[in-house]
Amino acid sequence: MSNLGFRDSSVVIIETSRTAIRCGLGIHELLRTPSVEIHARVGLRAQHASFEGTYGTRLTAGGSGEVGLSAANSRAASAVPQSQNLKITDYLVGPQLDDALAAGQDIVVSWPFADGQITDFMQAEALWKYVLFTGLQLRRVQNESPVLLSLFSPPPRDTYERIGQIFFERFNVAAFSILDRPMAQLYAAGALSGLVVDIGDTLTDITPVYDGLPISGAQTTARVGVRDCERFLAHLLRNNTSVAAAFAELAVPPAEQSAALRALARQVWQAGLVRVPVAGIAVREVEDEGVTDIAAVLVAGKEKAVIESGMKRRATAKASAAEQARAKEIEALDLVTVEFRGKEITLGKERHRFCEPLFDSGLQTIGEAPAPNEHASPQGEGLPMTLQDAVGHAVRLTDVDQRQYIWYGLMVTGDVTARVKGVAPALQTHLSSFILGNADQHNEVQPKQVRIVRVPEYFAEYREKGDGLAAFLGSSIVAKVTFHDGKNFISKADYAERGPKAVLEMSASLF
């Protein structure tokens, strides 16, 4: 493989996770965030799909409720069946699919990457085709772009070959490379060994990495994720007097209140209004259930004004001692106001309990039961356990000599880490029992602490949400090296000479 002199501006990075695809064109001096992002789902109009033996879900605007309509929440399982006459162009992808659902069309929605492997290659091709030729507006006939694809690991050997066929024969790429997604996430933090904890909607993937290679035999999937947290917070919000008053004014029917509460819970964490206590335990300073009696504090206009400002500013020096004391009292309650369906709702410290189900299995069953086919994974996938137990289980599957290096590189990632502060320190606290033990037992292979690694601050565009976009950042870093050093990629000439099996030679995890 020779250095073909690819221009940085022509390099394409495609990050593929269970539920999202992020893509960008060009590698710049200041590495940029992805320019294209879509949910990793496809849709088929009902007349094209049969439902026999599938995990597909039929979604319509009228039958799914507000939560189901959200592009981020209609998590159907993986594949719908294919007829012999089905074509790539029959699939709805990206905004086209969102618009069809919003219009109330009868759509079968499918997530081909949801269970950690590619269950339908035609659907995968439809998604990748969209980001390349619609999202990035490349031209297939004149495609001079090398592509680096980061993918969950480890896919089977024949999957590598099939992916290579798609990119060379269907997309006409100039060169191609595949990177294990956990490695990309760890590279973004500047580490070669560590532990990648990728928190998803319904599942959390845990991958120990040692000396630049994922330890495939130790990879663990825990059946806990952001959905459990949303249901739990929705349960807490039921007892919030401000929420109850707003729902009464909106005349939300009882049958729709669960969906509305979930939507509110999602809005709260995605707006960055949640932080996780360092100790990772419940916030109960106000009430045992974490619920603030909002009606009791909304008694004066000045107090309301302070709440609306986010309680970030104290009373001015000219304010009376009584006013200052009252402002401090309200500030201690940590109140915020949010606008939901045109109504202002005041929330207290209960919102900071959002992540508790990750660390307490007893809370994973509290709240509204998930809707049918909500989880983006086949039934039974993942271990029903707390996040810390799942991490401890994964590390115990590694060699004893490797563990101290793995514990010194805890990387917590996923969309939730970009919006909710403190998830990694909370997990670090919960993991202390797995490594401390008796001080007399410490030795060369027994670490004394868990060390968190993060995306460095000098990546300017990633400062606010770097850990959540770690896979894309790490892929960009690797792509910059890969397509300049002449190694670890397959050129179009290499593929023409050796065929799909040439793709196997570029992945160290397959050696």
Q: Is the pLDDT of residue 302 over 80?
A: no
- pLDDT average, residue stretch 28-49: 88
Percent of the chain with pLDDT over 70: 75
Instruction: Quote the distance between the C-alpha of residue 433 and its chain's center.
Output: 27
pLDDT, position 352? 94
327 neighbors 312 (Cβ within 8 angstroms): no
How many angstroms separate the CA atoms of 6 and 13, rounded? 14
Tokens of 197: 């904890």
> What are the tens digits of pLDDT across the range 146-165?
999 999 877 788 898 999 99
pTM for the model: 0.83
> Which domains does the chain show, CATH number per domain?
1-38+116-188+457-511 (3.30.420.40), 227-363 (no CATH)
pLDDT, position 166? 96
> What are the tens digits of pLDDT across the range 380-435?
466 678 999 999 999 999 999 999 999 999 999 999 999 999 999 999 999 988 88
pLDDT band at 504 (very low <50, low <70, confident <90, very high): confident
Q: Is the pLDDT of residue 292 over 70?
A: no
pLDDT, position 47? 73
Strands (E), 449-507: 490-491
- Name 169's Cβ contacts closer than 8 Å, sequence gap at least 6: none
- pLDDT average, residue stretch 224-253: 94
> What are the tens digits of pLDDT across the range 189-235?
999 999 999 999 999 999 999 998 999 899 999 999 999 999 999 99
Give CA angle at 424 (148, 70), nearest 5°. Answer: 65
pLDDT band at 342 (very low <50, low <70, confident <90, very high): very high
Determine the residue type at 67.
V
pLDDT band at 286 (very low <50, low <70, confident <90, very high): very low
- pLDDT average, residue stretch 91-120: 93
Instruction: State whether the Cα torsion 401-407-408-409 is positive or negative.
Output: positive
**Maximal C-alpha separation, the chain:** 83
**137 vs 438, more confident:** 137
pLDDT, position 368? 58
Tokens of 380: 């039974």
List, in sequence order, every residue forming a beta bridge with 338; answer none if it has no partner.
Answer: 345
pLDDT, position 306? 46
Q: Is the pLDDT of residue 465 over 70?
A: yes
Of 207, 194, 204, 160, the closest CA to residue 179 belongs to 160
132 neighbors 470 (Cβ within 8 angstroms): no
- Rounded mean pLDDT of the chain? 81
pLDDT, position 20? 95
7-11, 218-222, 301-305, range with the lowest pLDDT: 301-305
pLDDT, position 448? 78
Percent of the chain with pLDDT over 90: 56
**139 vs 314, more confident:** 139
- pLDDT average, residue stretch 281-292: 41
How many angstroms separate the CA atoms of 179 and 455, rounded? 18
Tokens of 182: 């956990």
The helix/strand/coil state of 418 is helix
**54 vs 125, more confident:** 125
DSSP per-residue string spanning 452-490: B----TT-GGGTTTTGGGHHHHHHHHHHHHHHHHT-S-E
